[in-house]
């Protein structure tokens, strides 16, 4: 499924971008389902087992930050989480795969909580380091609309401690990431 150049880029950088994995029809279906969930959030006044809401959320202006475990709440999300092409790409990289969990983060225009530089490592329960996060972009992403940024090669950097772990943790993390970005 992947070219030799894509495999080499993954080994070197720790990530790859593979465009057009989903058909336009599949993306349209995911967008419609997502829009329905956002509209359904109007009945909520607080986070629940499905939704994380933005602070500016109200019934008149539903604002969703995240759908928790979307693969468990709608068949379209379940199908996306098991997409044959994604599974083939992951198997091409590693030989075998196991799905752990999913979430749908939203970065809506005009509002939305920023996500500062971080490593996902600390947020996933695990006992080994053969993990990957797979992102499925439902909208086109470019420099103008706040894309996710990834530091090439940062997967080999030891996990950065959180600011709560030690008085100097934030400075350490800032310095190591500054070095990676230079």
Q: What is the pLDDT of residues 17-41, one digit of tens each?
A: 999 999 999 999 999 999 999 999 9
User: Length of the chain in residues, anyone?
Assistant: 182
6 contacts 120 by C-beta, under 8 angstroms: no
Tokens 């709560």 — which residue? 164
Read off the pLDDT band of 167 (50, 70, 90): very low
**Which has the closest alpha carbon to 136: 92, 100, 104?**
104
pTM value surpassing 0.85 = no
* Residues in CB range of 58: below 8 A, 6 or more apart: none
Range(s) of the chain covered by CATH 2.60.120.620: 4-150
138 contacts 70 by C-beta, under 8 angstroms: no
Q: CA-CA distance, 178 to 180, in Å (whole number)?
A: 5
Number of Cβ within a 10 Å radius of residue 48: 11
Note the pLDDT of residue 83: 95
Specify the CATH superfamily of domain 4-150: q2cbj1_9rhob like domain (2.60.120.620)
Read off the pLDDT band of 172 (50, 70, 90): very low
């Amino acid at each position: 499924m992947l070219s030799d150049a894509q495999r080499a880029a993954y080994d070197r950088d720790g990530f790859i971008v593979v465009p057009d994995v989903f058909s336009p029809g599949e993306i349209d279906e995911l967008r419609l389902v997502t829009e329905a969930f956002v509209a359904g959030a109007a009945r909520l006044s607080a986070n629940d087992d499905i939704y994380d809401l933005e602070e500016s959320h109200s019934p008149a202006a539903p604002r969703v930050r995240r759908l928790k475990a979307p693969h468990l709440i709608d068949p379209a999300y379940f199908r996306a989480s098991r997409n044959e092409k994604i599974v083939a790409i992951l198997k091409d990289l590693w030989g075998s795969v196991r799905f752990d969990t999913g979430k749908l983060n939203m970065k809506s225009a005009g509002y939305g909580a920023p996500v500062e530089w971080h490593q996902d490592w600390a947020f996933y329960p695990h006992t080994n380091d053969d993990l990957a996060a797979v992102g499925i972009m439902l909208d086109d992403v470019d420099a103008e609309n706040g894309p996710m940024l990834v530091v090439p090669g940062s997967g080999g950097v030891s996990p950065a401690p959180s600011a709560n772990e030690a008085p100097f943790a934030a400075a350490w993390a800032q310095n190591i990431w500054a070095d990676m970005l230079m």
